[in-house]
Structure formats: structure tokens, C-alpha cells
Amino acid sequence: MRKSNISALGIAFMLFCLVSAGAFGIEEIISSSGPGLTLIILIVLPVVWAHPISRLVAEANAVLPREGGIYAWAKEAFGEFWGFQAGWWTSMDTYISSGAYIAMVGGYTAQLLTLDDAGSFIVKLLVVGCFTVINLVGLVEVERISSFFSVLILVVFGMAVVFGFMNWQTNPFDPIFADPDAPMDCLAQSIGLGIWMYCGYECIAAMSGEYEDSRNVAKGFRIALPLIALSYILPTLACLGAYPVGSWTEWGIEGGFSDEVLGFGTIFSQVLGHTGVAIFLIVAIMSQCTIYNTYLASGSRSFWVLSEDNLFPQFIRKVDRSGRSPYVGVLTIALSSLVFSQFDFVSIVEMNIVFILARYMFLGFIVGRLRKLYPVEQRPSDMYVIGGGKLGLGLYAALTFCIATFVLCLNPVADFLATMLFLASGVVAYVVFKRLYGGLSQVDPERHPLDPKTRLAVGDTKRIGLFVLMTAGLFVLNALMNAFLLTA
């Protein structure tokens, strides 16, 4: 793939689009868990979750700025099998979640223009087509569109902050819990969506092989992280404080668009009337479009790198004549977007949160292994490294692993069986594609020998056994946590 000159600010805006693009979705946490707990989660997660992830990604990307991001890192650190798992989790997340943003575009547009289901589908089709063309043109155009939309979204949510503080009338932290008698239930309902709001940092690294200066990724993180956190915290704080006491129970995703539901759009309705609602709806549509735009760019590279290592069908590797876009990957995500956009937002989140959390549980181990392979003292002086030595790395890795494991195991036992099946899909896919295409043994058979009995890599049966043991351990932990919640 051809290199593109993407600045640190451009990467920051792409990160903003991948992770946030506005505070949409927070409304559901407020009404189900309580305004105080929502604000606490939005304030705490950037410190204990988003910051560690961004630092781990920045160091791994500094060492190995390669196309595919976490797949390339995991493959280098732990070999072909575990690399495939990381790549599979990332690919499935992208292909599934892209449908969520198209579904929300269709929903917002239907409210703005009063469309029926057929009209909403046509809008989805047009949006997918438009941003597919943008991604086929190349990465620079994706960065420019992301920067333009990011500025508009930040301006509008900045207006929401100003309007909210101008109309301040109540304590936004009261009450802390929606149900004071069941605080753990409130946390269980909110933490998953809160984690979702601060996910996506590693996706920017999937395109690292195309950046002329990969050091801009670490610089972009320093800009994006506080920007994303403030874009969540300040509008939520201001709007909660601007509405009457007890009105937090009426918050919802349709806030401002419906007289019976409150949300970020409500403050525009109060201050600017119908025009304000229309402005906010347009920005809501832009927000989902810009997330989709960057996910197309990131996700189209995920199966591409698996195919390059003979672990996926070769057709996905096709790029245009200029070498700027993996057009088959872009087109396949566009198609999956239309398919998954027929599901509701919550169902899509429940399907792909498993893949998100799995790779975050793995991330700290990858960076730790890369430090052994590429000792810090042997790296260039200007290469980014997490501060604090082994202790600093251990702290970030532990926070990421523990929080991801906790959230993953919060599901009811019956739902966790589906979680195990989702995780097992990566092992099944690896066995199928490894036997069909040979994997890295086709590139270097001496370094990556095949087991003649299984036609998998030597040692893969032990790795699959370890995977089964870890999954069984997660199931036991899930059962124990559910038992605790029932008695708490």
C-alpha cells in the first residue's frame, strides 16, 4: 500500500471519529443507571481504561508500525495462531459494528424527514455508497473528511455546553444510582456501554503501514484522548444540570426529537426552537457518518493482512491501480454494513462487544512480549515507550485486562454461552483457513513447519487446548460473578 502524509492532528481527528464523534449513546446510560453514576463512569474510564489502552497501542505501534495493527503485533509476539485470533476479533468487530452507525443514520434521517422503512433503507444505501467511494479514493481523503466533520461536531456540542451552563438549575450528580437498593445492577447496566464509548483506539494502528511518519500516532493520541473525554463529560454535565430535578428518568436516544424524551438535542430545542432540533439532527447524522467513514478505512485492512499471510482467501487482497485502497475489503464492509444495519443498535453492540473486550484482554500481554523481543534500551531515543519501566507497563496491562475481563463476565450465564461461541469462531476459522491456504508455512516452511497429522502449525493443538482452558476459566468466573450479584 502507498504511503500517505497524515499529520498528528489528522490522526487525532481520525481517532476522535473512531472512538467518539459526539456524545451520542450516553443518554441510555443516564436513564438506566442514574445521572451521578453516568458522570462518574465518564470521568473515571478515561483514566483507568482509555489512557492505558492508548499508551499500550502507542508503544506497540512505535515498535511495529505495520499494516494490520494488533494482528501484526500479536503475530510477532506469540506466533501465527494468536495473531490470527487478534486479527479475527478486530475484523469481526469492524464488520459487525459498521452496521450500527448506518442503522443510526437511517433512524436519525427518518426523524428529520419523516421517512418510512423503505425511505430509511434508501438513505442507508446512499450513505454507504457515498463513503465507499471516499474510501476507494484513498486514506488522505478519509483524513480530510474526518477532520471536517470532527470540527463541526465539536462546535455543536460546544454550543450544548454553553446553553446548558447558561440554564443551570439542578445538581447533575443527584441521584448517583437509578436504584439505590441495587447499585451493582446499575453498574452492570452502565459499564458495558461506558466501555463501548471509550473503544476504538487500536483501530488507528491498522493503517500504520500507510503513514509516512508513524510517530504521529503517539502524538495524535495525546491530542485525541482529552478531546474525547471532554466531548463526553462536559455536554452531559451541562445538560443534566440544565433540566429540572428528577428529569433524568426521561433521558433517551430520541431526546430533543420527541417531546416526551430528554437528551442533548433538548437544550437546542429550548434555546433555538425547531431550528435547533434540526441542526442537532443533522449533526447526529454527520456523527454516525464520520465514524462509519473511518471504520471503513480501518476495517478494510483487517482481512487484507490475514490474506497476505495465507490465512484468508486471496481475493480480499486486491487493491486499485494506484495502490491507495484495498477496494475489495472496502466493498465487503459496505455490504456487511447494509446487512447489520437491519438490526437494532443494542443487538449490534451485544454481538461485537465480545470481540472488542477479547483483544483488550490480550493487548497488555502483547506489549510485554514485544519488550522482550525489542528491549527498550536498544530502541531509538525518539521512539515512544510507556514510562515507569516494568511497573508502568504492568499497571496499564493489569488495568486493561482486569476491566475487560470484569465487563465480559458480567453477562448472565445463559448469554455467556453465546459469548463462548463468538470467541470459538476465531479458532474454527483459523483451523479452516490454515488447512486450506497453509498460512505462514507457504512463506517460510522451515521457520513455520506444518504438523503432517493435523496440517496445522507445529504446536497448534497445544495452543488450541490453552484457548479452551482459558475460555472455560472465563465461564467459571462468569458463573461466580453472577452468583455474587444475585446475593449482593
The whole-model pTM stands at 0.84
Residue 453 region by backbone torsions, left for phi larger than 0, else alpha for psi between -120 and 50, else beta? alpha
d(CA 197, CA 300): 22
Give the residue among 119, 118, 142 at the shortest CA–CA distance from 132. Answer: 142
pLDDT at 258: 66
What CA dihedral angle connects 451, 452, 455 and 459, to 10 degrees? -10
**pLDDT tens-digit readout, 236-253:** 999 999 998 888 988 876
In terms of pLDDT, which residue wins out, 26 or 44? 44
**Does the pLDDT at position 428 exceed 80?**
yes
**Does the pLDDT at position 354 exceed 90?**
no
In terms of pLDDT, which residue wins out, 144 or 289? 289
Longest Cα pair distance anywhere in the chain, in angstroms? 73
**Does the pLDDT at position 194 exceed 90?**
no
pLDDT at 143: 63
Average pLDDT, the chain: 83
d(CA 446, CA 246): 68
Q: Where are the domains of the chain?
A: 8-408, 409-488
Instruction: Report residue 11 as a C-alpha cell.
Output: 490522526
What homologous superfamily is domain 8-408 in, according to CATH? Amino acid/polyamine transporter I (1.20.1740.10)
Mean pLDDT across the stretch 433-443? 91
Mean pLDDT across the stretch 165-184? 89
d(CA 27, CA 35): 9
In terms of pLDDT, which residue wins out, 160 or 218? 160
Mean pLDDT across the stretch 129-149? 68
Contact 64, 206 (CB under 8 A): no
In terms of pLDDT, which residue wins out, 474 or 345? 474
- Other residues' Cβ atoms within 10 Å of the Cβ of residue 380: 7
**Does the pLDDT at position 88 exceed 60?**
yes
The tally of CA atoms less than 13 A away on the side-chain side of residue 439 is 25
Residue type, 432: V
pLDDT at 210: 58
